[in-house]
Amino acid sequence: MTLMLTSVLSSAEAMLALERGADIIDCKDPSRGALGALPMDEIEAIVTAVDGRRPVSAVVELPHDSAHAHSAIGAVAETGVDYVKFALPMTPDAREVVAGLAPLAAKVRLVPVLFADLDPDFDLLGDLSAAGFHGAMLDTAHKGRGRLLDCMRLDALAQFVRACRAKKLVSGLAGSLEAPDVPRLLVLNPDVLGFRGALCDGGERRSTIDADAVTLIRDLIRQALAPGEREEEIDHVFVRDLVLPVEIGAYAFEHGHAQRVRFNIDVEVLRVSGPDDMRMVFSYDVIMDAIKIILAAGHIELVETIAERLAESVLLHERARAVSIEIAKLDVAPPASVGVSIRRERASVLAAPLPANVAL
């Protein structure tokens, strides 16, 4: 299950986020940049207001001096927060910084942040795991220059989430995320999605949090139908006649170059009772993203492999009930086409309510 992290700058905002269903309350000052720290007394006030009902994280502006870094992290940890976040420096001594913080990682759940727009080194995830860090987040350093999805392709984000999982690190994605990004990122199954701007008046991250905006994101992140939610009509969302160059084929002569492949996908999507807004919508971007991620992996021998992977990915979406896929190779025997057609279904699974004391 993916959790919703909400960045707040006051105890009043923390209470609103808590009431509207945020899973993690994150203490951060948006006026100080991507990872601006709040004053210590404000962090303490937020921890007191939340009173253990949800985990609380807080940002530390990490000093370059190792001793001062230990002191800064320790001071924030003493406020009672559950996690401490900080920007992982993308400098030649990054591995030394990680190793130097290892003793603290045994006492405090540390979550370093890598920036997607600053050429992050995913190889550092292995060092974080070895040092006992709790997790890692991807964010954007330069707000206003684009969303996370503008800075990094879906297949690279999927690689980050998979690498974190392999290293037993909690994975988080953030970075000027907007509501339409949520269903696209949920199929990657990150542990956390983080928000600030999308929750504020006018999308301005320095403004106050808007209750309705928090509710919208909360509803979009729900992984399955809520208990008692009634099923109704089935809609069909489709992508037709999409032709892409694909490295595919089992024969030797098919290796080393791409050939044209046509995709036709039809997804049967559950429509539920409720207002006519994006919470009820299955985005065709989910289909397009799944295709891009699969093809980015490199040469694939069988069209059947692509079809099965695509069905598995699409059916991760909570509203998708079945998918029909036709994949045709167009260059084998033109003007004829050859390929495969499959249909796959999944059972509807109801998610249990999130416990009040949920923790990563």
By three-state DSSP, how is residue 325 classified? strand
Reply yes or no on whether 28 is catalytic.
yes
Phi, psi of 165 (to 5 degrees): -60, -40
Q: How many CB atoms lie within 10 A of CB 219?
A: 18
Q: How many CB atoms lie within 10 A of CB 164?
A: 23
Among residues 28, 143, 167, 329, the one annotated as catalytic is 28
Mind giving me the DSSP string for 168-198?
Answer: T-EEEE-SS--TTHHHHHHTT--SEEEESGG
Q: For the purposes of burial, counting CB atoms within 10 Å of the CB of 65, is it exposed (0-12), middle (13-18) or buried (19 or more)? A: exposed
Long-range contact set of residues 150-156: C-beta below 8 Å, sequence gap at least 24: 151/116, 151/117, 151/175, 152/116, 152/117, 153/292, 153/296, 154/184, 154/188, 154/289, 154/292, 154/293, 155/292, 155/293, 155/296, 155/297
Among residues 85, 143, 167, 329, the one annotated as catalytic is 85
Rounded Cα–Cα distance for residues 317 and 320 (Å): 6
Alpha-carbon Rg for the chain in angstroms: 22
Helix, strand, coil percentages (3-state) for the chain, rounded to 5, are 35, 25, 40
Q: How many CB atoms lie within 10 A of CB 216?
A: 19
Is-contact 332 308, C-beta < 8 A? no
Helices (H), 124-266: 124-130, 148-151, 154-166, 181-186, 211-221
By three-state DSSP, how is residue 167 classified? coil
Reply yes or no on whether 85 is catalytic.
yes
Which positions are catalytic? 28, 85
